[in-house]
Amino acid sequence: MKNVSRNAVNWSVDDIDRMVHEPARYMILSILYVLDTGDFLFIQTQTALTKGNLSSHISKLEEAGYVKVVKEFIGKRPHTMIRITKTGKKAFEEYRGTMSRIIGR
């Protein structure tokens, strides 16, 4: 048995992109949507997420194709740059549209 049909409130749970719906990831995307790129530590301070948590959310966003991760060395230290993709931007916009509709404004 699967949920497939539309309902009286005129939206289905499947309309909501869970990848974006998760607050931590929404926050990450909302930063990158404006700035396009950000390094790991910048995003960490902005979101106030723990490193571990941030790390795994970035991995998920990467797997979803919503961000690209570039690792390099700055001087002698490792550095991780995260860039939002076209797909990621679109997903973010669509999520906002969907939620606007659902929340009603």
Partner DNA sequence: GGAAACTGGTTTGTATCACAAACTATATTA
Partner DNA sequence: TAATATAGTTTGTGATACAAACCAGTTTCC
Binding interface with a second copy (CB under 8 A) = 1-9, 11-13, 16, 21, 23-24, 26-27, 30-31, 45-50, 53, 96, 99-100, 102-105
For residue 1, the 8-state DSSP code is -
Which tokens go with 104? Answer: 């009603």
Shortest Cβ 46–DNA spacing (Å):
13
Shortest Cβ 17–a second copy spacing (Å):
10
In DSSP notation, 66-90 reads SEEEEEEEETTEEEEEEEE-HHHHH
Which tokens go with 16? Answer: 């909501």
Nearer of residues 53 and 87 to DNA, judged by Cβ: 53
Q: Using the rule CB under 7 A, give the single segment among 28-36, 69-77, 86-94, 96-104 that binds DNA.
A: 69-77
